[in-house]
Amino acid sequence: MAEFKNMGWNFKPTKLVFLVILAGLVISCGSKEKKEPGRVIPAQELVPVLEDIYLADGIFSLRYLREKMPGTDSMSNYRDILKKYGYTLDDLNKTIDHYTSDTRMNELQLIYEQVVKDLRDTLEKTFEEEHIQRAPTDTTDLWPRKREFHLPREGQRNKIPFNVPLRGPGVYSLTVKVKVAKEDGSKDPYIHVWFWKRDGTPEGKRIEWAKRRIPKDGRWHQFILARKLTDPSYTHLKGYLLDDENKDKKYIKRADIKGLKLYRRPLLQEHDQTPIIR
């Protein structure tokens, strides 16, 4: 579970909070709007709608931001968000009734998990980029290996593992450009990174970075991952540039990687606001 504290807003995504928000939407949508027949929003389109609503509620809960938006309330926020996606409050009301029925609870669970994952990734990425922007500019590229990979030419299921010695505490940032073909056979490819040290076990002890999902759209995407290390006992940065969720071995990766860079920046003197991963 991830908890984030920024600008006075605590974000701790739990299933209870998620269900409370849905209940609140039902009450809001049903009490202020004349109910008309609505459409059920498909799950894949409902996820970004709920994410935007959750973030809007979090921002609107901050008094100093709310005072800058006179005449704005939660209902108007919901209308604007739904309009952006081509839906109405009636559609949202019918959708919530649909997914909260006893026969649809499994679908609701999957929606909840996707919303939490996306919100967590978005907020962690924001914190990481903030570290990069605030850190000193002096950098040394630590990436020791080749900077381009082409699959399947260099391995049909090559996850491209790496193992780089660390240079003590600091803000480490990894930059990479990735293109995964639509025909790629890997399931949910992602960049997987962690700090590592020995602890007497074969696996060692890890501090995981936030995973970065890679779209399978045949386009180049640049990723900048970063994490602060304060514990000098960690000795290596390890991971996979093309990890995946495949359980079988009957698939072929079709991807290209370039532009690999690894930086270490000194820690700032002041206390950083960082995600707390639990």
**pLDDT tens digits for 193-219?**
999 999 999 899 999 998 899 999 999
| pLDDT at residue 273 in the model | 44
| pLDDT at residue 31 in the model | 47
Topology at the third CATH level for domain 149-277: Jelly Rolls (2.60.120)
Q: Rounded CA gap, 72 and 60, in Å? A: 9
CATH 2.60.120 maps onto the chain at 149-277
| pLDDT at residue 25 in the model | 56
- The three-state secondary structure class of 204 is coil
Do 229 and 182 contact (CB within 8 A), yes or no? Answer: no
Amino acid at 241: L
| pLDDT at residue 204 in the model | 95
pLDDT tens digits, residue range 15-55?
A: 444 554 555 555 455 544 455 567 898 988 988 988 888 88
Do 42 and 51 contact (CB within 8 A), yes or no? Answer: no
Average pLDDT over residues 155-167: 95
pLDDT tens digits, residue range 66-113?
A: 566 666 666 777 888 889 999 988 888 888 888 878 788 788 888 888
Asked if residue 255 has pLDDT above 90, the reply is: yes
Asked if residue 226 has pLDDT above 60, the reply is: yes
Q: Please list, residue by residue across 68-99, b when 16 or more beta carbons sit within 10 angstroms of its beta carbon and e when fewer do.
A: eeeeeeeeebbbebbeeeebbbbbbbbbbebb
Judged by phi (left if over 0) then psi (alpha if -120 to 50, else beta), residue 259 lies in left
pLDDT confidence tier of residue 56, bands split at 50, 70 and 90: confident
| pLDDT at residue 219 in the model | 94
pLDDT, the chain, mean:
79
Q: Please list, residue by residue across 244-254, b when 16 or more beta carbons sit within 10 angstroms of its beta carbon and e when fewer do.
A: bebeeeeeebb
Do 62 and 9 contact (CB within 8 A), yes or no? Answer: yes
pLDDT tens digits, residue range 120-155?
A: 777 766 666 665 555 545 567 899 879 999 999 999
This prediction has a pTM of 0.56
| pLDDT at residue 4 in the model | 39
Amino acid at 22: L
Asked if residue 245 has pLDDT above 80, the reply is: yes
